[in-house]
Amino acid sequence: MKKKVIFFDIDGTLYDHDKKIPESTKRAVRLLKEKGHHLFIASGRSPFLIQPVLEELGLGSFIAYNGQYVLHKGDVIYRNPLKQELMEKIYETADHHDHPLVFMGEETMKASVPNHPFIHEGIGTLKTEHPEHDLSFFKEHDIYQMLLFCKAEEEDQYEAFREEIDLVRWHEVSTDVLPKGGSKAEGIKRVMERLSYDQKDTVAFGDGLNDREMISFVGTGVAMGNAVNELKQLADFVTKPVDEGGIFHALTELGLIEE
């Protein structure tokens, strides 16, 4: 069998609802590595929030920020930061409506306000503390993604920016702000170019709305049993939920590992 390039989302895919990786998933990853497949994390998380997963699974390559930052074995092969002028305009709008922002760079993240319950609520689900307040940060560093904290019905306040950004909601009180057209699928294209692989030899696992482009693009798109319905409809295969051995089950059904 030709080796595959396999991409795993983290939250709700590798991580269960307690932010732990099931033992069956760890075993599946070990078996894939033994067979020589290329394994990548593909997450909306930042590089510094992906690092614990890489260490636990013994992986060294990832797509971060929903495709805006791609690293292969220690070498950054793609960067797509938000434009400075655009971020300043979005900040002005967000500040006017009392919507906090979190600016996400390569090594850390900073908040537009010193303390906000929406940031505590959203960031807290990632087992991460409220970032420090630092408005100079986004003016002095490359920012690959912003987190905008507002309710879904308030997103229309940002309609004027829709030609330059995509909003991808990941929490009741927060949405990702990405460069227009930025997605995990775009990151995967950069990996395919780097490794000289065809689309048909790519596999991806996901559960959320930010996995739509990735699941649609790869040769075999797998939706977790706990995935949103929209993703399940796009997938080639729907497996069991993450906490029921979903990744191991799918990989055996697809013939990529054996029991």
The phi, psi pair for 154, rounded to 5°, reads -95, -5
Q: At 39, list the tokens.
A: 């394994």
Distances in Å between the alpha carbon of 206 and those of 123, 171, 259? 20, 16, 22
Helix axes 23-34, 246-253, angle to 10 degrees: 40
Rounded (5°) CA angle 99-177-45: 110
Distance CA(63)–CA(141), nearest Å, equals: 19
Give the active site residues: 9
For tokens 């991808």, what's the residue?
168
Residue 177 exposed, middle or buried by CB count within 10 Å (0-12, 13-18, 19+):
buried
Q: At 54, list the tokens.
A: 């890489």
E strand or H helix at 20? none
Torsion sign across C-alpha atoms 40, 31, 22, 240: positive
